[in-house]
Structure 1
């Protein structure tokens, strides 16, 4: 069953203009509107939150808006600029979330994420991650996922929540109360249906189709079938101009796993040949399966570093061929290098002594394509332990900085320090005993304190902050890294509570 994500960008035009205003000509305090025109008519096509609070709305005549607000900032609409921005967003989503991404003009994109959500930690985490990443780039986004494009499109635009997750098979109870304008019908048709007394999709779907088709044609029935998922609505994936892609069409549909594997191997060889002519290696490749019932299925494979090895890339796809559901048959296979990087030919050198070269990239590829996130930990110049590490790609070049430590550090650092109960003599004595996660432990040996000061240049609230760390060992021989918040004397330096922060081997 397909799972479709609709990303709605309600303020794309306004936010694009704000981001492009590098010279600061536009004021953040004054209302900003985008004006569209047709002949002599001029009206508001988009507006910011300041303009909304002032009583303006989309569709209001520009002259009336100027009469209401004297210092109104007005920018002419640029549909081409908005389309280019939307295309860039779609291409970015193509590399991040799904092999099947398309523009849902004029204000959104749509993705088929069937089988791809596990790479993001599940559908719920994927949706919240999408919203957070857009917000981090200064873009407002509302996201919905459902079994059909129509339902996801409607819910993303009708809901006031940032994310809407429709469980598989539950479209009916989510869309029946939506207004009929959510069906992607023309404004004239929507107006006529409202005159007839229809307000919601549920009311319209409960009405016999024949009278509606006789008066309005087949469009209403088609949109209802699409929103409920009864009629497939294929998503034609967007592709960058420079994309390297190979495909194979079949006179007779195929469906046997061994036949699919045979043609996938041939496509991989063709793709590697095309990449070799440009001196590139693939980092992420998508296999698109076009079925005879006008539906598609996609399989994505990634590599830790640029690769052009036909045998290895073939294996990555063959390991996942069993997930392909041919249905009534496959009429075309397409293989595209979504992400590629320069890859130079390596010359084989001979040696009198056999040198064993260990390459863990194949292992990383296998783990990564099974949905696990593989990364390395790199040092960061910071005395605060939780800020002294960051995640980097497995194949990323070695960073220049390193940890400079005079005190031992635990092999496992907790993601967030745990509050513990401690018996200790202030200000500088180590704990005598502590209770962590319900278990009381007596301290046999201790070393410390190691004092770490706050980074006042990072946060002004840390100007007086202090932590005193101790390495302690309990009666069972287990060693822990704990700290006291504060110097044990001045309350301004911390709460004087104790925390567990790490575990030694």
Structure 2
């Protein structure tokens, strides 16, 4: 199902004026009331000015009378559009399809790519946080169609609209993006909300207002597909092929991919670069664009490897009535020199797992593929950290202190029967299942890191490796030394599974 993000910048013209890189001079203070105007009419007001009662459409003279000392700057729609274009290019990090929604918004088609960013909620949270760090006020929503996402971002609270939800009915008719004269006439007819308008007879409305009203209602309902025109990264290596006859099959796509990859890899080799990210866009004959994206853990220009990863994602492409062009874009490239390979059968070569890591990351997401690295700490849960999958291993765990493959975070409480102070448990109950201990080894005493945390000055854990009747092995510990309650409350916990 299609999922589209709409980003709304309610104060884009005034936010842009306090960015010195945008205006080419001293920036305006965001804390002072500021408006932009054209033909002596207020076009935009920053948050401070809005709090003082200033609104777009107000005459400048009236605004200056209400707020003495008001800063008035000329509106610059071209500058606003240029900033939107750069923001759309920056949003290509989330999806291959990002487009401007003039005059004050963006669209991002995130279909099939949200899992790479931890889900839709985390994607929106990260997007808004990045825009906020740039000094831009924004609200975003994700929905099944651009029309619904646009309406929720501007007339709702933003956020994630569950798939299949019908939320347009309660919005004002301005949410349909109709011309002002059509909106005025609809209000004269008594239509204030989208719900009653969509339930009215369609034919009389179309005869009076033309096809634009029907098209907007169908787009809001998801009946009519609404395409977006994606931006292209600047100064990027790319290749494009158009076709006399539309392509419909995965086999045809795979053949074109091989040609595009070969051309792109040739350009990368000339520039001594390797691809870190590739977008492949499919331009259909109905004017819509679909895209697939791949990324690599390190710079690559191996045509076979890149082509295989793109082929694996062809199942996500719906050719519809046919694809008339395919466009391959290198969205990220890093320096990559030439590497001497083994020159004889006697030389030892380590296995290259980078292709496997690339395929796993593109299928499961970057957060799901990683390596565990050791940390200098005696406390088990602090002795490991997550690093990128291709990070070179550094350090090692003590070989004489075996640790379980899986640690439970946090450790889970168990009921154990043991003879204090140093004996292992005879039996323990975990998740309502009783385990009788057949073999045990320990204790291994681990003290708290008192030099880092004052509350761990006297804390102690006694760990035991135990095996039950069925052969399963557990790593359990008692909190405390078995004698002094100041070292712990003597409760038992399960911390890991061997």
TM bin, normalised by shorter chain, reads 0.7 to 0.9
- What is the DSSP-based 3-state SS (H/G/I as helix, E as strand, rest coil) of the residue aligned with 1:260? helix
The 5 Å alignment of 1:430-469 reads 433-442=427-436, 445=440, 446-453=442-449, 466=459, 468-469=461-462
What displacement does 1:278 show? 1.2
Structure 1 distance, partners of 2:475, 2:189, is 72
Task: Provide the rounded CA distance (Å) in 2 between the counterparts of 1:229 and 1:486.
Answer: 62
Specify whether residues 257 and 136 from structure 1 end up closer, same or farther in structure 2 by C-alpha distance, changes over 3 A only: closer
Q: Deviations over 1:116-159 (max 9, x none)?
A: 34445xxxx52111133245547376543333211221123333
SS of structure 1 residue aligned to 2:214: helix
Deviations 1:393-439 (A, max 9, x none): 2234x376666798543321223332333456788876554322112
Written as runs of structure 1 = structure 2, the 5 A alignment for 1:374-413 is 374-380=369-375, 384-396=379-391, 398=392, 407-413=401-407
CA pair 474-152 structure 1, distance change in 2 beyond 3 A: same
Superposition deviation, residue 58 in structure 1:
4.6
Q: CA deviation at 1:317?
A: 2.3
Which 10-residue stretch deviates more, 428-437 or 198-207?
Answer: 428-437
Pick from 412, 421, 425: which aligns with 1:418? 412
1:332 offset after TM fit, Å?
Answer: 0.5
Aligned residues: 482
- Give TM-score scaled by structure 2 length: 0.80
Choose from 88, 109, 120 the match for 1:112: 109
- Between the aligned partners of 1:489 and 1:110, the Cα distance in structure 2 is 64
* 2:24 matched residue in structure 1: none
Q: Does residue 355 of the first structure (1) align with residue 348 of the second (2)? A: yes
**What aligned pairs does 1:173-192 form with structure 2 within 5 A after superposition?**
173-192=166-185
Name structure 2 gaps, 5 residues minimum. Answer: 22-26
Distance 1:420 1:85 in 2: 58
- The answer to whether the 8 Å contact 1:378/1:391 transfers is yes
Quick check: 268-277 or 183-192, which moved more?
183-192
Deviation at residue 34 of structure 1 after TM alignment: 4.2
Shift of 1:342: 1.2
Q: Is the 8 A contact 1:304 1:361 kept in 2?
A: yes
Give the corresponding residue for 2:89: 91
Task: State the shift of 1:366 in Å.
Answer: 2.7
Please tell me whether residue 320 in structure 1 is matched to residue 320 in structure 2: no
CA contact under 8 A between 2:146 and 2:226: conserved in structure 1? Answer: yes
1:191 deviation in Å? Answer: 3.7
Partner of 1:311: 304
Specify the alignment match of 1:151 in structure 2.
Answer: 148
Change (3 A) 1:217 1:393: same
Cα distance between partner residues in 2 of 1:203 and 1:81: 39
> Residue in 1 aligned with 2:279?
286
Q: 1:421 to 1:203 in 2, by over 3 A?
A: same
Partner SS state of residue 176, structure 1: helix
Question: Which piece of structure 1 moves more, 471-480 or 232-241?
Answer: 471-480
Is structure 2 residue 241 aligned with structure 1 residue 244? no
Q: Quick check: 1:127–1:143 contact (8 Å CA) kept in 2? A: no
Task: Identify if the C-alpha distance between structure 1 residues 465 and 337 changes in structure 2 by more than 3 Å, giving closer, same or farther.
Answer: farther
The Cα offsets for residues 172-227 of structure 1, whole Å up to 9 and x where unpaired, read as: x3222221111122445434422321111122223344544454444322322222
TM-score, length basis structure 1: 0.79
Match of 1:263?
Answer: 256
- 2:383, 2:44 → 1: CA distance? 49
Deviation at 1:74, TM superposition (A): 6.6
Structure 2 SS opposite 1:368: helix
- 1:369 matched residue in structure 2: 362
